[in-house]
Amino acid sequence: MPEHAPAIEGHCDDRFAAVRAAFEENFHERGELGAAVTVLHGGETVVDLWGGWADAARSRPWERDTLVNVWSTTKGPTALCAHLLADRGQLDLDAPVAAYWPEFAAAGKESIPVRHLLSHRAGLAGLREPHTLAELYDWELTCARLAATEPWWTPGTQSGYHAMTYGFLVGEVVRRITGQLPGDFLRQEVTGPLGIDFAIGLPEKEAGRAAELVHPPAEEGSQQAALFAQMHPVALAALVNPLVSVSEANTAAWRAAQLPAANGHGTARAVAALYGVLAGRDEFAGRPLLSAEAAARVREGQGSCRDLVLGAGFAHDTELALGLWLSGRNRSYGPNPRAFGHDGFGGSFGLADPEADMSMGYVMNRMGPHIADDPRKTALIDAVYASAPPGGLGGLGGVGG
């Protein structure tokens, strides 16, 4: 092992040695700075590894409880809030959004159902008017502007990644029903009772545990700039109105804000646990948080198409569920097409494969240029499915819908 390679700490079951090897390889060959990966399988933590540095200066080792911003991997826990309400009969995913949020009916949006918010089909991928970062931190203002604006396309006919607006749209429905912002609802109903180390709106007292996000190498950043130059206006509205820099995401204002699409802070252990809850695999007070029916609804396909926002950066169509992405034919979350997950800008991800009784989380601080399918992610997922313990994950390549 090279002298500069960090020590890898934690636990890895011998059956999943390939995951440890891939995790180490990410440091040697893929520019990893600090990271953690957790795999839950059959009710057990079979992989829980961390290593590297929590800051660019390499002065703070990555610890077992290091938190990091996971960008859009946050969308899974935000979707969970809506699915919990639907499971309790408080939210009808086929009802108009305006039934819960009357102001939303403006500009021809009176018939948009809640499921279109979860599946990025509402036509509200970004605001048409300039929206500053300071305004983004203002929940009431951002939601008021979304309620007043007109869709970019006929809702329900196409999908376009609601990169930042997703959190306000789904989150405001949660707030109208519960009276709580989504981060507070998630803490009260899920992360608090289950002891999951994840927050949307990081408390100031926890800031000392947060890793510093680090810009990608210059050549990778230039690739991203070239991608922006090719983008359709709706994609620019979704991804750069406002443009959030990696440096901004290290500030106290970003960490403390309620941004349920993009600023969840947690450990890999927490991400794996939350995606397991989405699969109906975790219990509180002797019963699953989500019923079997609700867990099945999470991965109810909403259609495959070339995404209007992400299309320029993807060579394939994407397959949407209700708040998550399906692995599908592209194997984005392993060989089971019914597995599901969500990526975060720069590399993080969470996934669940109910047929394999497995969930997984990966978090890191050295940003890659990818919105999804970072090479570090792919290496780790491939390694999990290459592990074939008796009764384990091998042979799932042929699992159907």
Per-residue tokens: 167: 């959190």
Distance CA 212, CA 292 (A): 38
Question: In 3-state terms, what secondary structure has residue 17?
Answer: helix
Under a CB-based contact definition with an 8 Å cutoff, are residues 356 and 348 in contact?
no
CB 25 within 8 A of CB 379: yes
Instruction: Measure the CA–CA gap between 270 and 391, rounded to whole angstroms.
Output: 25
Tell me phi and psi for residue 332, to 5 degrees.
-65, -25
The whole-angstrom separation of Cα 339 and Cα 327 is: 5
Cβ atoms of 76 and 323 within 8 Å: the answer is yes
> Side-chain half-sphere of 31: how many Cα atoms within 13 Å?
16
Cα distance between residue 134 and residue 46, in whole Å = 42
Catalytic residue among 59, 72, 119, 387: 72
> Shortest CA distance to 319 belongs to which of 360, 336, 224?
336
Torsion of CA 47, 52, 55, 58, to 10 degrees: 170
- CB under 8 Å to 212, separation ≥6 — which residues? 54, 55, 56, 250, 365
Strand, coil or helix: 205: helix
- d(CA 373, CA 371) in angstroms, rounded, equals 7
Catalytic residue list contains 247: no
Which letter does DSSP use for residue 366 in this model? Answer: B
What does the alpha-carbon distance between residue 110 and residue 99 come to, in Å, rounded to a whole number? 9
CB 33 within 8 A of CB 56: yes
DSSP letter, residue 58 = S
Q: How far apart are CA 311 and CA 301, in angstroms?
A: 19
Active site residues: 72
